[in-house]
């Protein structure tokens, strides 16, 4: 177990209680207001203790443990709080693995508490026993098994500190049943530091000076920003940097909404299905400043052909990300907000009109060849882009959009407009189909005063469709959008373009989504024709409670632009 330093926040006295109640007391001390979970035999004492805390902590019974993890992720992403999950041993715990992996790669703070068999039964293949620690080691920031009640306060305090410090991530605490039942003298010490764990480093002053010199002297400087901006709360500092320096800035899909999409220096989306100009001009900039992003392969394309001409400045809180994929000329290891605050006084006021015009010229090409036909089609079947465009018009960008994974995700990220921060929630690194419905539930509960829209494909929807019942039971006013093309659309697109249209196992014979949704207690609307689309969207958005809108879209429409596998970002295709 990690050793805690003296720097702690402590309660004044001890109280005798059992381990299960101690767990609830720890959660209250950490300010937890919401838990997603599913009970079972090995965690039953904790659920019994929960019964006495219903006026302090809300528990949401999801219909599957994976749904609980994604709901906790959605909640964490819009609130900047730590999501909390309860699950039982065995299959309950193993059902958390996908959500843990998703949270780890997307840096989402989450604490999962799983029950476990009695300590004396560990290793005996007892009923519903699995080695949760070994299974989850690769998909958590930290994990620990508690076998004695006396360990609970210290371990729980560390779990919350680790989950939401430095680069956030998921933690799992596995608690044997005897530890839940044993008595302890409870006193809580909130962890604020741990020996050997240094979650935040401070960027070197000399490196800051080098970064400023490069940016001030650049003719074609370029900023790429990711979710690190949002996680550190550096949105204001990023905007100040962009406006003072006059540098165009592009976003990863997890960076989306860190800067309002209509800002004149926000030049669009990076990556495989990103905008044309941000990709092509990556290979023409002379200085590239990456802020809170990790150069994922979907952003870089062919690595040895990625910005070979540019001096690279990389700012990230995680030192392991520096030089992992793209070699940095200047390495800024630190928190984005604090580092940008120190960098801003060193940056000179500047403008780059000719450089910015190159982005505008390529934007016009993309508009003419792709965007206009996608968001304002004059004939043919409904497109995904026009649905997102109409939603933009109705909400004026004042919404939170939670996306699943597939063509609809790329379309939503490309065309959704955002006026507020923390408005985009998606599964980025892991690409988890089934993410959006439960994550939308969590996001809506975390932001009850905002309109939250879950954008989902017909394939991914069926992976966690059971969470409709959770949404109905909690009366969460989530707006669910199914863009139904009767295919696993992204796989089909690749099969069309690169496998000679050999459509192998991608066509879906879907159930009646409207009937299923209404059977689970969520009203539903089906739209098949463009003539009724706008009115149906208005009716759906104006419904007071949860509501599902299914829109039948073209079956074989493709998402462009696209960087083919093995190509450089400059080889992005418009068709």
Q: What are phi and psi of 156, to 5 degrees?
A: -65, -40
Asked about 560 being catalytic, the answer comes back as no
- CA dihedral for 166, 170, 176, 180, sign (positive or negative): positive
Asked about 65 being catalytic, the answer comes back as yes
Q: Which DSSP state fits 349?
A: P
Q: Do 227 and 293 form a contact (C-beta atoms < 8 A)? A: yes
Residues ≥6 apart with Cβ < 8 Å to 519: none
Annotated catalytic residue, options 141, 177, 311, 337: 177
Annotated catalytic residue, options 21, 24, 30, 65: 65
Q: Do 252 and 228 form a contact (C-beta atoms < 8 A)? A: no
Q: Could you give the CA distance from residue 43 to residue 177 in angstroms, rounded to a whole number?
A: 7
Annotated catalytic residue, options 33, 118, 128, 324: 128
Asked about 348 being catalytic, the answer comes back as no
Sheet with 479-484, strands from edge to edge, namely 424-426, 399-403, 451-457, 479-484, 547-552, 524-527
Secondary structure class of 364 (helix, strand, coil): helix
- CA dihedral for 85, 87, 93, 95, sign (positive or negative): negative
Q: What is the DSSP string of 265-294?
A: TEEEE-STTS-HHHHHGGGT-SEEEEES--
Element (H, E) at 224: strand 221-225
Which of 542, 528, 430 has its CA nearest to residue 483? Answer: 528
Asked about 160 being catalytic, the answer comes back as no
What are 36's strand-pairing partners?
60, 85
Annotated catalytic residue, options 3, 5, 7, 127: 127
Annotated catalytic residue, options 259, 272, 490, 520: 490
Residues ≥6 apart with Cβ < 8 Å to 448: none
433-449 in b/e form (b: 16+ CB < 10 A) is bbbbbbbbbbbbbbbee
Q: Could you give the CA distance from residue 160 to residue 83 in angstroms, rounded to a whole number?
A: 10
Sheet with 170-176, strands from edge to edge, namely 58-61, 34-37, 83-87, 110-116, 170-176, 142-146
SS3 sequence of 18-29: EHHHHHHHHHHH
Q: Could you give the CA distance from residue 460 to residue 469 in angstroms, rounded to a whole number?
A: 17
Q: Could you give the CA distance from residue 232 to residue 302 in angstroms, rounded to a whole number?
A: 29
Asked about 177 being catalytic, the answer comes back as yes
Q: Which DSSP state fits 371?
A: I
Q: Which DSSP state fits 107?
A: T
Q: Could you give the CA distance from residue 302 to residue 279 in angstroms, rounded to a whole number?
A: 12
Q: Which DSSP state fits 526?
A: E
Q: Do 523 and 543 form a contact (C-beta atoms < 8 A)? A: yes
List, by residue number, the catalytic residues. 65, 127-128, 177, 490
């Amino acid at each position: 177990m990690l050793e805690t330093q003296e720097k702690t926040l402590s309660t004044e006295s001890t109280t005798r209680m059992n381990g299960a109640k101690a767990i609830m007391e720890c959660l209250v001390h950490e300010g937890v207001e919401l838990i997603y979970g599913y009970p079972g035999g090995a965690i039953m004492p904790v659920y019994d203790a929960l019964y006495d805390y219903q006026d302090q902590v809300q528990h949401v019974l999801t219909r599957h443990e994976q749904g609980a993890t994604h709901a906790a992720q959605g909640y964490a992403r819009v609130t900047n709080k730590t999501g909390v999950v309860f699950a039982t041993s065995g299959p309950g715990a193993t059902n958390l693995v996908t959500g843990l992996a998703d949270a780890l790669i997307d840096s989402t703070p989450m604490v999962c508490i799983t029950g476990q068999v009695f300590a004396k039964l560990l290793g005996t293949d007892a009923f519903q026993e699995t080695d949760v620690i070994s299974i989850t080691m690769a998909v958590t920031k930290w994990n620990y098994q508690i076998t004695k009640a006396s360990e609970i306060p210290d371990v729980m305090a560390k779990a919350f500190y680790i989950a939401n410090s430095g680069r956030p991530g998921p933690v799992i605490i596995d608690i044997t049943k005897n530890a839940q039942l044993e008595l302890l003298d409870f006193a809580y010490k909130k962890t604020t530091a741990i020996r050997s764990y240094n979650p935040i480093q401070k960027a070197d002053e000399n490196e800051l000076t080098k970064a400023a010199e490069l940016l001030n002297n650049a003719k074609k400087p370029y900023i790429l920003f990711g979710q690190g901006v949002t996680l550190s709360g550096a949105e204001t500092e990023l905007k100040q940097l962009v406006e003072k320096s006059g540098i165009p800035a592009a976003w990863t899909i997890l960076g989306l909404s860190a800067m309002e999409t209509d800002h004149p220096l926000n030049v669009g989306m990076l990556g495989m299905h990103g905008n044309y100009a941000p990709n092509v001009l990556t290979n023409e900039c002379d200085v590239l400043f990456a802020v809170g992003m990790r150069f994922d392969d979907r952003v870089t394309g062919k690595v040895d052909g990625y910005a070979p001409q540019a001096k690279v400045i990389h700012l990230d809180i995680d030192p392991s990300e520096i030089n992992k994929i793209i070699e940095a000329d200047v390495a800024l290891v630190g928190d984005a907000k604090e580092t940008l605050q120190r960098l801003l006084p060193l940056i000179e006021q500047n403008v780059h009109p000719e450089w910015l015009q190159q982005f505008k010229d390529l934007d016009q090409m993309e508009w003419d060849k792709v965007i206009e036909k996608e968001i304002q089609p004059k004939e043919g079947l409904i497109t995904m882009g026009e649905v997102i465009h109409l939603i933009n018009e109705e909400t004026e960008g004042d919404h939170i959009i939670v996306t699943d994974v597939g063509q609809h995700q790329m379309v939503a990220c490309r065309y959704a407009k955002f006026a507020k921060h923390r408005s985009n929630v998606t599964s980025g690194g892991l690409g988890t189909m089934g993410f959006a419905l439960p994550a939308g539930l969590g996001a809506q509960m975390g932001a009850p005063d905002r309109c939250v829209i879950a954008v989902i494909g017909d394939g991914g929807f069926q992976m966690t469709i059971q969470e409709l019942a959770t949404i109905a039971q909690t009366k969460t006013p989530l707006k669910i959008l199914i863009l139904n093309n009767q295919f696993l659309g992204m796989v089909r697109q690749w099969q069309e373009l690169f496998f000679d249209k050999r459509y192998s196992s991608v066509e879906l014979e879907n159930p009646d989504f409207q009937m299923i949704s209404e059977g689970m207690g969520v009203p539903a609307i089906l739209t098949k024709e463009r003539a009724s689309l706008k009115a149906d969207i208005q009716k759906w958005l104006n419904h007071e409670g949860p509501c599902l809108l299914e829109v039948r879209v073209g079956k074989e429409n493709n998402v462009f632009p696209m960087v083919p596998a093995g190509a450089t970002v400059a080889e992005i295709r418009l068709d």
